[in-house]
Amino acid sequence: MRRDFAESGGCRSDLVIGREESFGAAREQLARGGSVLLHGPAGIGKSTVLRTLAAEYARTAHTVLRCSATESESHLPFLALADLLGLVLEDVSDRLPAAQRTALESALTGRGESTLQRDGLALRLAVLSALRALAAEGPVLVVADDLQWLDPASAELLGFAARRLGDIPVRLLCAVRTEGPETEGAAYDRHLRASPPDTRAVRLGPLTRAQVSTLLDERGYAGLPRSTVRDIHRTSGGNPLFALELGRALAESPTPPRPGEPLPVPTSLRALVLSRLEMLSDEARRTLLVASAGARPTPALLHAAGRENAEAETAQAATLGLLATDPEGPTVRFAHPLISAALYAEAPAPERRAAHAALSTAASDPIERARHLALATTGTDPEVAARLAEAAALSRDRGAPSVAASLGLLAARHTPADSAPGPDERRLTAAEDAITAGEPDLARDIAREVLTRTGVPGERVRAWMVVIEAAGQAIGEVDAVFPQALADAGDDPRLLALVHYQLAWRSLVVQGDFAQGREEAAHAARLAARAGDRRTEVLALAFQAQAETLMGHPGAPATIRRALEEPQDPRVACHHNGAGSSRFRWLVMSDRLGEARTTVTALLREVRRRGMAESEVHYLRFLAETELHSGHCGRALELSRESLTLARDAGIGEGAGAMQAALAEAAGGDVERALALAREAVRRAEEDGDAVYLSRALAALGHASLAAGDAGAAVRALRRVRELEAGAGITDPARGRWQGDLAEALVRTGEPAEAQDVIEVTRAHALRLGRESVLAVLDRAEAQVRAARGEHRAAVTRLASARERLAGLGYGLEEARAAFALAALHTGRQGRAAGPASYDEAARLFRRCRALPWLRQVEAAVAAQAAGPPPAPPAVPDALAGLASMERQVAALVMEGATNREIAARLFVSVKTVEATLTRVYRKLGIRSRVDIVRLAAGRRPD
């Protein structure tokens, strides 16, 4: 089997980062026997996708023909054709008519003079005949990269053949360079016309910031601060080649750029984007330099900065393709961000400072004026530093903490050592702004730098707090910080309050000890009150209230009221660890879903206004949780996906985001994706040593497993949750609401006694705390326990009551699940005729909730009923009497001759659960196969 120009077997599609949708579209087209034309700008990844697709489809093609043109060789006639057909010419030449063979051999070998003008028809027909001859032996894949550089003769011949292939099994996989989405209707149009009629054009666009981060990590540039990755993404415009070159330049640079300085642009990229600058006048280049230094340059701004001929000079630059027209306004916009960065990096330092000096008076925004003034100034200058600090405060108030951090660092650079506030104090303020902006890497680096210099206790403790905050859920990784922070705090109650507040988090996250965390938080609140530090006091009280709520402590409402008392720090009031968040959690656990939604919506609006990235991630997740409880599964899915996307982009709260997304997917999306997300959440919590979210992640995994029909996996995950929460002192069952799932899964695996124990223990806590929705879910689970014991009338009564109460409380999805269980009980008792009608109400409720996975379970149940009721089970032989309920049911169905898949459908479990149950049956009965079960049923001894 021919593999001409075979690719490396190590090329895998999963290495094509950020191209899932484009790759999938191309793969689907090729699988249908169609052709694909990839297009996009230089460096966007066309060749990578093309090589990966070619390697995948080369395995099924009999012949693979390849060519890759270059600009320097595009003048050589028939060169691409020689690449494509040169190695197969001997195989097909004897099947071509003499005139075609002569023309083709002459064109490919150069042994005779052949031109399109002289041998046009013969050559065209020869290429078509050659492809037909190859396709007669098996499928042919033609792979052509950089179509824009194909020599005209080869392009004409390939296009002629492509348009006439018809049903012949020849697929074309090609890539062509285009400048951008605005040229889609023209730049590649001639290449599309030269392709087979069924060709699908697939455009490759820029990568997202998260995808650029993944790409850099995969290519060995891991560990870059997220603020740097953000700058790389912005400067590269999401172009993977440009991003990798910028990452390489950073890795090779001995010192990283300081705030306000450009990224180091390697020579290779400068040459790529600046070659056209040589055609500009010196004055036009200076105008473009001023534009590259400005944040939002306009002709008016350039005029104010002294560029008198700005319109003419920018028009000249636009003609050369350096600038792009902006249909939305007069902004001077570079055709690609890299042009601006390279132009700025190429300019001598004095010219850059001159550009910033001009903009420092021309800009209308005070923040921009301060930034330009700083970049035009060398050395320390207290007046410049003060203006920058004011600009940072203004940015903070505008909800731009990332800008505030950058300006704060500039302020620190220009602050004299003997000033008050000093440079390190301003650096720490910048680090705290970076934490707010969701840039923990930058914050940690700033704090570590301060710790190497300062001996001031207050500054050192603040720096330690930044290091701890930057660790996020992986707080166990900075355990060594706490003794040093306590030593630096001495006996200062204000500083000690900060440390003990973080110790409360350590007790919770690392040790999983809610009682100890509560004590540390209460101690921190008392210390802060003594020091008059209301901000830290409120944070500590909010933590104490959260711990008390989850522990079922009766003092939780009173602690929340203390935390909500005035005065309040506005930023703490809306923080995800503040009093508002604690009140939201208490409302949700108290079944006050309407108030909880109003509260969290207001908090989300405020943190978005303030640019508090981490809090936004959390509040989106909280709102998704509220919508999920309310049975709004579609909305919950949208919110949880948005939260997870932001979390991945910022690198914060990813485990928690995956946990909530898993629950939403299991309710309203895709169950397999739910399982994958839940496993990711468990893995992250275990890697971080995060005891708090480990139990939440396991609860999500258990729920997703139950939704997937794998009761055994659900039991394994939820038993771990039970152990973890008992060890942590969590007694409020409304915290994770997993107990009903565990009881239901235990019933399905034939362990009703343990299910009843879970219900009774949980019910005692729920009654004490007044958790009405939890009590209703427990009743739903207990009804299934009773049904398993044959108490059908009592089970139906309890299920009907549970459904009614859940509806009254506004728990739409739980109500629908109760209706589903009730339908299953009715159908089981009344037989086939009652089946479809009895499921109608459950289906209606699941549709109202947009709970698609649950709706599919209803449809499967209706289909199973339509297939007819199972025949009456045979009398259970004495040999099976010692089996558990589920084991007996499975064994009885085996006796009837049911397959594992049929058994799974009838019992509403997964095939894996059936297989595991059969394994237990074999072990208990001392047998080896299904045949032995049948023999036992017939009263015969297994062989």
- Helix H, strand E, coil C: the string for 94-163 is HHCCHHHHHHHHHHHHCCCCCCHHHHHHHHHHHHHHHHHHHHHHCCEEEEEECHHHCCHHHHHHHHHHHC
pLDDT value at 50 more than 50: yes
Strand partners, 141: 64, 171
Strand order in the sheet with 36-40: 63-68, 140-145, 170-177, 36-40, 200-203
Q: What is the 3-state secondary structure (H, E, C) of 398-418?
A: CCCHHHHHHHHHHHHHCCCCC
pLDDT reading at 940 higher than 60: no
Q: Is the pLDDT of residue 874 over 50?
A: no
- Judged against a pLDDT cut of 80, whether residue 910 lies above it is answered with no
Confidence of residue 835 (pLDDT cuts 50, 70, 90): very low
Please give the structure tokens belonging to residue 848. Answer: 């109202």
Residue-wise pLDDT tens digits, 695-751: 999 999 999 999 988 899 999 999 999 999 988 888 899 988 999 999 999 999 989
DSSP state, 575?
Answer: S
Q: What are the backbone dihedrals phi and psi of residue 364, each rounded to the nearest 5 degrees, phi first?
A: -90, -25
Q: Percent of the chain beyond pLDDT 70?
A: 90
What is the amino acid identity at position 462?
R
- Judge residue 940's burial from the number of C-beta atoms within 10 Å of its C-beta, 0-12 exposed, 13-18 middle, 19 or more buried: exposed
Mean pLDDT of 679-685: 93
At residue 906 the predicted structure's pLDDT band, cuts being 50, 70 and 90, is low
Looking at the predicted structure, is the pLDDT value of residue 656 above 90?
yes
Residue 621 clears pLDDT 90, i.e. is over it: yes
Decide the pairing of beta strands 333-334 and 140-145: unpaired
- Residue scoring higher pLDDT (794 or 512): 794
Q: Are 859 and 839 in contact (CB under 8 A)?
A: no
Verify cis geometry, omega within 30 degrees of 0, for the bond prior to 877.
no
With 0-12 / 13-18 / 19 or more C-beta atoms within 10 angstroms meaning exposed / middle / buried, residue 23 is buried
Residue 788: pLDDT over 70: yes
pLDDT of residue 325: 64
Residues 841 and 819 sit within 8 Å (Cβ to Cβ): yes
State the DSSP H helix or E strand holding residue 25, giving kind and residue range, or none if neither. Answer: helix 20-31
| pLDDT, position 196 | 85
Most confident of 37-51, 276-290, 423-437: 423-437
| Residue 905 in this model has a pLDDT that exceeds 80 | no
Dist CA 927 CA 891 (whole Å): 12
Cα–Cα distance, 711 to 885 (Å, whole number):
14
Residue with tokens 């908090």: 603
How many Cα atoms sit within 13 Å of 192 on the Cβ side?
Answer: 16
Region 114-141: mean pLDDT is 84
Residue carrying the six token digits 């909530």: 660
Summary mean pLDDT of the chain:
86
Residue 17 CA to residue 221 CA, distance in Å, equals 15
H or E element in which residue 471 lies: helix 457-471
* Predicted confidence (pLDDT) at residue 340 exceeds the cutoff of 70: yes
Other C-beta atoms closer than 10 Å to the C-beta of 559 total 26
Query: 567 by DSSP, 3-state: which?
Result: coil
Cβ 34 vs Cβ 200: under 8 Å: yes
Cα angle: 302, vertex 305, 308; to 5 degrees: 65
Q: Which tokens belong to 330? A: 């007069």
Percentage of the chain modeled with pLDDT above 90:
49
Number of residues that make up the chain: 943
Q: What pLDDT digit, counting tens, does each position of 560-609 carry?
A: 999 999 999 888 999 999 999 999 999 999 999 999 999 999 999 999 99
Q: What angle do CA 661, 667, 668 make, to 5 degrees?
A: 85
Q: Tell me, what's the pLDDT at 93?
A: 87
Residue 444 CA to residue 424 CA, distance in Å, equals: 14
What confidence category does residue 259 fall into, taking pLDDT thresholds of 50, 70 and 90?
low
- pLDDT at residue 327 greater than cutoff 70: no
Is a pLDDT exceeding 60 seen at residue 923? yes
> What's the pLDDT at 12?
38
Q: Which of 333, 331, 312 is nearest to 323 (CA)?
A: 333
Asked if the model's pLDDT at residue 359 lies above 90, the reply is: yes
Return all residues near 35 (Cβ < 8 A) that are at least 6 apart. 29, 162, 171, 172, 173, 174, 195, 196, 198, 199, 200
| pLDDT confidence band for 3 (50 / 70 / 90) | very low
Tokens 């066309």 sit on residue = 46
Summarize pLDDT for 151-188 with one digit per residue, the tens: 888 888 888 888 888 889 999 999 998 865 444 445 55
When comparing pLDDT for 791 and 864, which is higher?
A: 791
Over residues 384-411, mean pLDDT: 93
If you average pLDDT over residues 224-241, what whole number do you get?
85
- CA atoms of 728 and 741, how far apart (whole Å): 20
Report pLDDT for 918.
86
> Is the distance from CB of 860 to CB of 843 less than 8 angstroms?
no
pLDDT score of 866 more than 90: no
Helices 593-610, 613-629: inter-axial angle, 10-degree rounding: 160
Gap between the Cα atoms of 374 and 386, Å rounded: 11
pLDDT, position 832: 44
Q: Is the pLDDT of residue 662 over 50?
A: yes
* pLDDT value at residue 500: 97
* CA atoms of 524 and 528, how far apart (whole Å): 6
pLDDT at 441: 86
Instruction: Of 4-13, 446-455, 681-690, 792-801, give the lowest mean pLDDT range.
Output: 4-13
Q: What is the pLDDT of residue 295?
A: 82
pLDDT computed for residue 357 by the predictor: 95
* Cβ-Cβ contacts under 8 Å for 190 (sequence gap 6 or more): none
Write out pLDDT tens, residues 59-99: 888 999 998 888 878 888 888 888 899 888 888 888 998 88
* CB-CB contact of 583 with 560 (8 Å): yes
Torsion of CA 187, 190, 191, 195, to 10 degrees: 150
> Nearest CA to 905 among 837, 824, 803, 815?
824
Q: What's at 540, amino acid-wise?
A: A
What span, in angstroms and rounded, lies between the C-alpha atoms of 456 and 464?
Answer: 12
**Helices 812-830 and 852-866, axial angle in degrees (round to 10):** 10
**Whether residue 754 has pLDDT greater than 90:** yes
Name residues whose C-beta falls within 8 Å of residue 428's C-beta, 6 or more positions apart in sequence: 446, 447, 450, 459, 462, 463, 466
Q: What is the mean pLDDT of residues 502-525?
A: 92
Average pLDDT score over residue span 418-444 = 93
pLDDT given for residue 937 in this prediction: 65
Region of poorest pLDDT, from 78-92, 250-264, 661-675? 250-264
| Residue 819: per-residue pLDDT | 94
Give the pLDDT band (50/70/90) at residue 876. very low
Residues 604 and 587: their CA atoms lie apart, in Å, by 16
Q: Is the pLDDT score of 817 beyond 80? A: yes
